[in-house]
Amino acid sequence: MTTRAVHEAPGLALTAALRSVVDGSYAGVRDRVRRTLSGPDFAYPEPGISLADHRESTMAKTKLLAAAGVGDRQHEDVGERIAAFKTVGLGDLSVMVKVGVQFGLFGGAIDRLGTEYHHERYLADVASVALPGCFAMSELGHGSDVKSLRTTATYDADTHEFVVDTPDENARKDWIGNAAAHGRAAVVFAQLETAGEGRGVHAFVVPIRDEAGTPMPGVTITDCGPKMGLNGVDNGRLVFDHVRVPREALLDRYGQVAADGSYSSQIESPGRRFFTTIGALVEGRVAVAAQAISVTEVGLTIATRYALRRRQFPTADGSEQLLLDYTTHQRRLLPAIATTYGLEAAHAELVRRFAANLADPSESGQRTVESLAAGIKAYATWRNTETLDACRQCCGGKGYLWENRLPALLADSEIFQTFEGDNTVLAQLVVKGLLSGVAADFEDLDLVGLVKLVAGRAFNRMDPRTGHDALDSDTGRLAAFQWREEHLVETLGARMKKLVVDDHVDPAEALNRCMDHGLAAFTAHLERVILEAYQSLEGPAVLGTLRELFALSAIERDRAYFLEHGYLSGAQSRSVPGRVDALCRELRPYAASLVDGFGVPDELVAAPIATR
Amino acid sequence: MTTRAVHEAPGLALTAALRSVVDGSYAGVRDRVRRTLSGPDFAYPEPGISLADHRESTMAKTKLLAAAGVGDRQHEDVGERIAAFKTVGLGDLSVMVKVGVQFGLFGGAIDRLGTEYHHERYLADVASVALPGCFAMSELGHGSDVKSLRTTATYDADTHEFVVDTPDENARKDWIGNAAAHGRAAVVFAQLETAGEGRGVHAFVVPIRDEAGTPMPGVTITDCGPKMGLNGVDNGRLVFDHVRVPREALLDRYGQVAADGSYSSQIESPGRRFFTTIGALVEGRVAVAAQAISVTEVGLTIATRYALRRRQFPTADGSEQLLLDYTTHQRRLLPAIATTYGLEAAHAELVRRFAANLADPSESGQRTVESLAAGIKAYATWRNTETLDACRQCCGGKGYLWENRLPALLADSEIFQTFEGDNTVLAQLVVKGLLSGVAADFEDLDLVGLVKLVAGRAFNRMDPRTGHDALDSDTGRLAAFQWREEHLVETLGARMKKLVVDDHVDPAEALNRCMDHGLAAFTAHLERVILEAYQSLEGPAVLGTLRELFALSAIERDRAYFLEHGYLSGAQSRSVPGRVDALCRELRPYAASLVDGFGVPDELVAAPIATR
């Protein structure tokens, strides 16, 4: 083991120090939102609540948060806005998603894709929820493949209108939040056609209901119906039958249609234009990544507090052992806590880069933000589902009771793996970015580009390397993570190149065959990113132990790879599980402070088994 | 790759052949139950149903199944009864659990722990549900540790009655199915005291409600309230305040109290008596293991059928690719299908041994059945949660809609990991059995015994071995699984012995420190058991490919262990992921037949996304 600074004593001072690590420079806004959410108006809905009541109470809470200033795009700094969204993720997740749809997706699309006209016309009403709205991108036939959307918006130069139309069943807008009950307008993503020419996917503000709530002529709205969770959110389907909207409905920051129907854009390449449009929406993923971390923190707080109260089976001295004194229990909770602090560090870094790139945009800055956002979103949401399930198991039958919150957390957040980009698809995008370097268009899965990409790049045959220090120091562990990532990316590239260039395998099929290799590269990349951010995190000494536990748990899971390539010796590899056990034991006395450091208000923890 | 018999063509004949593998000799009873469950009376409850209505409809369905002969312990063969319970697991899981509580737990306890008097008095009414009953074992303070139960039953020789009492809050019976609404009697597990002496845990039939449904004097019943799932089951809490029941209430197969209060038992050792009592209830675990397999089969059927219809992203020829043609998708579904067929084989073997041991009981036969039942229950339920989550992700947003069944399957079955024995606790019991050999008392976690056990046994220092053939043949793969299991058990034993005997570590703490090693030994043991059963399974040639996929997926997950000990070379290990990919591709054309082979009736699949 390494020598380390003597730890702080567990207790209030440590908790405060950890909280200031988690809150960073956003303690003010986070505390404000925590206070709002802790009020009596935000009591969790009863489990038997009807769909209609659940939706109404969720809408009411969304308006209360709006009144408290959450989601006001015209007066909030971007970092503050994301910190506020993240904090909303400590409470009821239907409210969180409703807030995300209204202010993040609907408001965000108008903000980022629209111009001054749209901002003045809409943003104040978005912020006050006077205009509840939808983000109508996904279609039944195209959830992940936005480029292939089939809804059309055809410009009619005679009337100066766009005609928005759903050509067939597969093109219906599906799974649209705020659509089934409350939305009055929608930002609709559609294939723009003008002057007889297709111009690719653009966004339009389309009224879908009048003030009385009646669907607009030509707009058919149906209800997705009950879901596994998030039933406070009214997901619906939208079908447009030649719905006419004025020329100003086009959110025209990146593409403009003149009155005569002629098209112009400051971005010449249609591919680049598409990715710029989509890239402008990256804030949604930045927010969801943060929210997944919040949800995990709530689950870990409940399970850890329970494990510090509940006893089972007698010990030698006749007393019964606390659950958290069992190794299996420690191994389920403490590495997850360690990973969560690492994700906090990585996400804070993402927010810094995001804000910096908004202030001073560059293409490479944008690509980095997109890749980081996609990666942290996928990694954090996968780990979230896994961790919450472990938390539920750690609480036994008690964890299955509705009153103890874990059932709602599990049911509500399971879909995080799918929405705002399916995790598997996002992981592929990240890996494609790694293969291509920063220059390539991040979301471009175009196959011709892929062929050029792998054909044109040299992939290094890396020399064998041995990580003598791979387990024993921060630098050694980081080097191991860097080696693994680089090795996986290089060998993936070489393999793709061989398949496509030498063996003439269809590029899509080649990508397909290498997908598991790609997922391994994804994990290696994210864990390197997290470890790097972790190592530059400042705070109490216990963070050093947490960081080591994060690194060694990750090596433990993937030690076959290190062994197969001789990076770790058999003896090194065999020592890893014992080191993980020892780190868990070392952190055990700090468990209460570690979860208190997440700063989940008692009113939001709410579970009777987690009473302090 | 190995050479293999040419496969059958996919299609109806293959489906029929696979179905007869799954149904084995119980096709008759399974088809009968399938028909009953497919009738209109068994339509799934609406998601918004109230708790009260859900409970009533579940009770009504339980009575319909009783009328169809399910759970009639006096007229059914044990194999048929388990096959019937297993088939009920293809439908609504609240009904499955209610059936399990009434006929399996309540009826089973009376059957196995009672004598002729109890059988004649109760079993017909249990089978007809004229007497709805509970199985009151778990207490708030003691879910897993039955030996430490605190409810007391004190014999009063003056009145010839037992006085059943809950001494404190921690001793209340908790999480008891059928208690909150319907139960009229309960089999209560309590510490028997007679003639001033404690005799350990015994079971008593205690009336808890009168015919009008009013709680009996001295019995306080509360409702556990809404749960994550299984809300058709009325779980409740029972508190007894000096409740008097006649002497005949004792289920006295293994311990008798004479009218004067003198105690007798054909089993002299109190420890042995306890384990015999508990062991008599093993049928519950045999049934739950089967039911977890059924639930996984339903999930896999839904996700696979959807993956055979749904297209996403364009391919080179302009069409869009079926989800199941993606490697990641194949890797999520096909190894899970392969594992499920293996679990079917292992469970059929368990049922054979269980029935044989009932017909001709022996202590070693009983231990084998207990270990197998605990092991398959834990392994199958862990895999079930993992697989259903993957199935949900494979169906994207559609999988999150209530109508598509996966949400209910996930919510209802998550608790399988905890009930009928917490998986982590069961895994420890199995490993303790492995350490001790067949002679030890299976459920005895007594620490003195543990010390003797490891101190008294020689653990072999195994010679290094290399598995040249470990990937390439059935015999090579089985040898690899056997080596892994043996090596893990021997090294665990040696480690425990060193800690306890040489280092004088408290045995509980030693066991605790080695728990992760123990869990690895558990997995290795179960996978060896499954592979062995798989290899003796007769059926179509495609089973050979499935068996190979099961084995190689398991090796892939655990290849670090094989590598660390030099059993696999780096080159062998590196080839495993590619082999798994290739097997998935080979099985891809059979996917529809493979899930049809599970025999889930279309009426029970029910999910609109899984329409054929």
Q: Model ipTM? A: 0.88
End-to-end CA distance of chain A: 34
How far is the C-alpha of A383 from the C-alpha of A405, rounded, in Å? 18
| Nearest CB neighbour to A402, from listed B225, B316, B515 | B225
Selected residues 483-522 of chain A with any CB under 8 Å from a CB in chain B: 506-509, 512-517, 519
Strand partners, B379: none
How far is the C-alpha of B26 from the C-alpha of B43, rounded, in Å? 25
| Nearest CB neighbour to B512, from listed A227, A327, A445 | A327
C-alpha closest to that of A561 among A448, A485, A505: A485
**In chain B, whose CA is at the least distance from the CA of A405?**
B228
Q: Does residue B225 sit at the A interface (CB-CB below 8 Å)?
A: yes
Alpha carbon distances (Å) from A536 to A342, A474, A485, A543, A583 = 10, 11, 19, 11, 20
Triad B487, B493, B494: Cα angle to 5°: 90
Q: Do A143 and B312 touch (CB under 8 A)?
A: yes
Q: Which residues contact B22 (CB under 8 A, 6 or more apart)?
A: B341, B344, B597, B598, B599
Among A317-326, A473-482, B123-132, which is the least confidently predicted range?
A317-326
What per-residue confidence (pLDDT) applies to A281? 87
How far is the C-alpha of A526 from the C-alpha of A349, rounded, in Å? 13
How far is the C-alpha of A304 from the C-alpha of A390, rounded, in Å? 11
pLDDT at A3 over 50: no
Q: Does residue A222 sit at the B interface (CB-CB below 8 Å)?
A: no
Give the pLDDT band of residue A593 (cuts 50, 70, 90).
very high
Residues of B in contact with A566 (CB under 8 A): 570
Q: Decide: residue B57, CB within 10 A, 0-12 exposed, 13-18 middle, 19+ buried.
A: buried
Q: Do B389 and A392 touch (CB under 8 A)?
A: no
Distance in Å, alpha carbon of B355 to nearest chain A alpha carbon? 31
**In chain A, whose CA is at the least distance from the CA of B174?**
A397
Between A236 and B505, the more confident residue is A236
Which secondary-structure segment (H or E) carries B238? strand B236-240
How far is the C-alpha of B552 from the C-alpha of B548, rounded, in Å? 6
Triad A549, A554, A559: Cα angle to 5°: 120
Query: What HEC string does B291-352 produce?
Result: HHHHHHHHHHHHHHHHHCCCEEEECCCCCEEEHHHCHHHHHHHHHHHHHHHHHHHHHHHHHH
Q: Which residues contact B114 (CB under 8 A, 6 or more apart)?
A: B122, B205, B251, B252, B253
Residue B346 near residue B383, CB atoms below 8 Å: no
Q: Do A312 and B143 touch (CB under 8 A)?
A: yes
What per-residue confidence (pLDDT) applies to B440? 47
What per-residue confidence (pLDDT) applies to A433? 85
**In chain B, whose CA is at the least distance from the CA of A323?**
B512
How far is the C-alpha of A562 from the C-alpha of A466, rounded, in Å? 9
How far is the C-alpha of B256 from the C-alpha of A423, rounded, in Å? 61
The b/e string for A176-198 (b: 16+ C-beta within 10 A; e otherwise) is: bbbbbbbbbbbbbbbbbbbeeee
| Nearest CB neighbour to A581, from listed B229, B406, B513 | B513
3-state secondary structure of A356: helix
Q: Does residue A331 sit at the B interface (CB-CB below 8 Å)?
A: yes
Q: Does residue B466 sit at the A interface (CB-CB below 8 Å)?
A: no
Size of interface A-B (CB pairs under 8 A): 203
Q: Does residue B577 sit at the A interface (CB-CB below 8 Å)?
A: yes
For residue A45, the 8-state DSSP code is P
Distance in Å, alpha carbon of A142 to nearest chain B alpha carbon? 7
For range A180-203, the mean pLDDT: 97
Residues of B in contact with A225 (CB under 8 A): 401-403
What per-residue confidence (pLDDT) applies to A227? 94
Structure tokens at A51: 């769909």
Distance in Å, alpha carbon of A401 to nearest chain B alpha carbon? 4
For range A252-278, the mean pLDDT: 94
Mutual angle of helices B327-359 and B283-307, in 10-degree steps? 160
The predicted-structure confidence for A211-234, as pLDDT tens digits, reads as follows 999 999 999 999 999 999 999 999
Global confidence as pTM: 0.92
What per-residue confidence (pLDDT) applies to A317? 61
C-alpha closest to that of A100 among A361, A285, A375: A285
How far is the C-alpha of B98 from the C-alpha of A86, rounded, in Å? 41
The b/e string for B242-262 (b: 16+ C-beta within 10 A; e otherwise) is: ebebebbbbbbbbbebeeebe
| Nearest CB neighbour to B422, from listed A396, A411, A509 | A396
Give the pLDDT band of residue A256 (cuts 50, 70, 90).
very high
Q: Does residue A417 sit at the B interface (CB-CB below 8 Å)?
A: yes
What per-residue confidence (pLDDT) applies to B144? 66
What per-residue confidence (pLDDT) applies to B447? 58
How far is the C-alpha of A388 from the C-alpha of A406, rounded, in Å? 7
Q: Which amino acid is at B521?
A: A
Q: Do A573 and B559 touch (CB under 8 A)?
A: no
Give the pLDDT band of residue A456 (cuts 50, 70, 90).
confident
Residues of B in contact with A228 (CB under 8 A): 392, 400-402, 406-407, 410-411
How far is the C-alpha of A424 from the C-alpha of B437, rounded, in Å? 45
Give the pLDDT band of residue A319 (cuts 50, 70, 90).
low
Give me the residues of chain B with pLDDT under 50, please: 1-3, 438-443, 445
